[in-house]
A and B are shown apart, each in its own frame.
Chain A
Amino acid sequence: MTNLQKNKCIDIQTTADDHRIAKLAAFAIGLHLLEAVLPSPLPGVKPGLANIVTLFVLYRFDFATAAWVSLLRVFASSLLLGNFLSPTFALSLSGALLSLAALFLTQYLPLKYFSAVTLSVLAAFAHMVGQLIIVRFWLIPHTGVAYLIPVFMAAALVFGVVNGLLTNYLLSLNPPQQHQDKG
């Protein structure tokens, strides 16, 4: 708060926040689109790199901002990819909502013991559960889905850890600029 430029930014705080959210959301959307184009190892399983942005935002800003970024990403990406209101969109939204819920519940875990890896893993599990609910009860009510659940959850664990580590790395490169009360 000593920098003159920063003061200027704080004077027009709302706009800066909007800009920030927009920039971050754009970054998240970009990552999401990139993933949509690349082939995935298993159908329905993606590394979910855009979630790194959500997590990063949660740490450096607040839950509300993270929620905005995440949901904007879901809606904008689906509009851009042309699958708004499609099953893909439903999967994406359901996953996002549940993982946000998980983040909401775990955001105050002490930093001394829990890093982004924990949040990422739990959010990834929640995300997968959200998607599996849509799959099982709407898209493919086949009992064979049970067979796939452990595979998907294992993938969620792996990518959750990877994304968490990447987030930690990014967080370490961008130390907090404002004072945040994060327990």
Chain B
Amino acid sequence: MRFLVLIFALILSACGKDSLVQTKAYVFGTLVDISINGESESKSHEVIGHILQDFQRLHHQYHAWQSDSELSKLNQSFLAGRTPIEISPELTQMLTQAKTLSKQSQGLFNPAIGRLIGTWGFQRDEFMPVEINDAAIQKLVKENPQMSDIVIKGTTAYSTNPYVKLDLGGYAKGYALDLALAELQKQGVKNALVNIGGNIIALGQHGDKPWRVGIQHPRQPGSMATIDLPSGWAIGTSGDYQRYFEENGKRYCHIIDPRNGYPAQGTQAVTVLLPPSPQAGVLSDVASKPIFLSASDQRPNVAKAMGVDNYLVVDAAGGVTISASMQQRLNWLIKPLKITVQ
């Protein structure tokens, strides 16, 4: 009898430990996938629900083209002149962080080029070929909207350049990841994995193994490699294969080069891996863009400037350049024909 009870207890305890709750939802204009391991179902669902609500709020509050979002209101005031307006503490914090990162990237990460992004038709839910208006593009480049044009005084902000239009597309998902991680830790969750539109941050482990992440192949369905994500690490990829349109056989992706106003050419995807830090999520979103926009010989310098040791680049020809430490962590599923280690 005791034997039976023991077995029963063992089985029950095993059940509890292996519980993985996974929820997929369409939030933030993309697919969000949150997994919590080792908590009761009710608690998992409660925490996930809370986080998804946070994401909804962020999505609406900082929406780049819905006119009633806090961000749009700020953009409208930038356009109107130099009158400072009140902004939320959260937005103040985001802008301050974005300014620092923009400077760090020598302006390659530039969320102030919302007007350029809109000209290319990427401020919509769906993308189609647009009439390329070179004159308009050149004017916007010449007016050179920069994050440094934004002045933050206390709880107010204004811009010295009316051409500044904020689009936090390359930043917000990362910010949300950091927010989600903080919330999970606050709720006492030990093991979770949060995936917002492909950007992922990890907490704890998946049972007795680290969380394992697949990296999408830029041109084939399925993943080209897998990598373990230890607790607190974040991974992000910028690619030309999801948000783009094709015109006359040429691909125009959503990553615009602020220096010439045109979508970046020459790169298919950049993946960056960041160690634990309060801004691991933000960096996993932001840091891939400057590397995406850089020439191949500049990439190591740019990566270093952004504080990135682990990166992987797939160029237009499908050749792969990878940093030495990333190479050690990565496990190829579809080995590329050409691999260069930087």
State yes or no: do A and B touch (Cβ within 8 Å).
Answer: no
Binding site for B on A (CB under 8 A): none
Binding site for A on B (CB under 8 A): none
